[in-house]
Amino acid sequence: MTLPASGQISLNQVNVELSRSGTTTISLGETAVRTLASVPSGAISMSNLWGKSSFSVSGGSTFVDGSDTRLGAGSKTVTTSSASVGTIVGGTAPFSYLWQYVSGDTFTPNTSTSNTTTFSKNMTVSVGESVTNTGVYRCRITDSASNVIYGPNCTVETTLTETS
């Protein structure tokens, strides 16, 4: 869970945020605490820990695409390659996932409650036409203690080309 955004923070709270026993020996100068506080060297104080959380995500898909062709005018569903939320750091398992629309064209996340998904879009083309749709999605990640983080925004793009 995220440390308080203001006021007093105890070293017990910092230990728990670092997934340790609250009574573990701890020092502000140790690497894990400095990493949590985003203060790699130099002076550090408890206020550097305000609002910090060890629950985060690194990596993850920022672009997925899919393309297909169709002979003659009409519709066809185009599916993208797989998008991933990345690596979850901290938090309390198990985690739940929900792929959410951010902006642009809408797509269907094919496994919307998984840490990976493909996206589909039913597209229509005319003779001699190529159509591209682009949207942005992200994944909401919730741990068992109800803490929430988001994976990176992922641009989703599909193209359907008529090939007569």
| Domain assignments of the chain as residue spans, ordered by start | 11-49, 56-162
| Distance separating alpha carbons of residues 52 and 39, to the nearest angstrom | 12
pLDDT at residue 147, as a whole number: 82
Is the peptide bond prior to 152 cis by the omega test (within 30 degrees of 0)? no
Residue-level pLDDT at 119: 98
CB 142 within 8 A of CB 96: yes
pLDDT for 12: 94
In this predicted structure, what is the pLDDT of residue 1?
66
pTM, rounded to two decimals: 0.76
Coil, strand, or helix at residue 137?
strand
Please give the pLDDT value at position 144: 86
Q: What is the pLDDT along the chain (164 residues), one digit of tens a residue?
A: 688 989 999 999 999 888 889 899 999 999 989 988 989 999 999 999 998 888 889 899 999 999 999 999 999 999 999 999 999 988 878 999 999 999 999 999 999 999 999 999 999 999 999 999 999 999 999 988 888 899 999 999 999 999 99
For domain 56-162, the CATH architecture is: Sandwich (2.60)
Cβ–Cβ under 8 Å, residues 22 and 16? yes
pLDDT reported for residue 44? 96
Nearest to 100 by CA among 64, 126, 136: 136
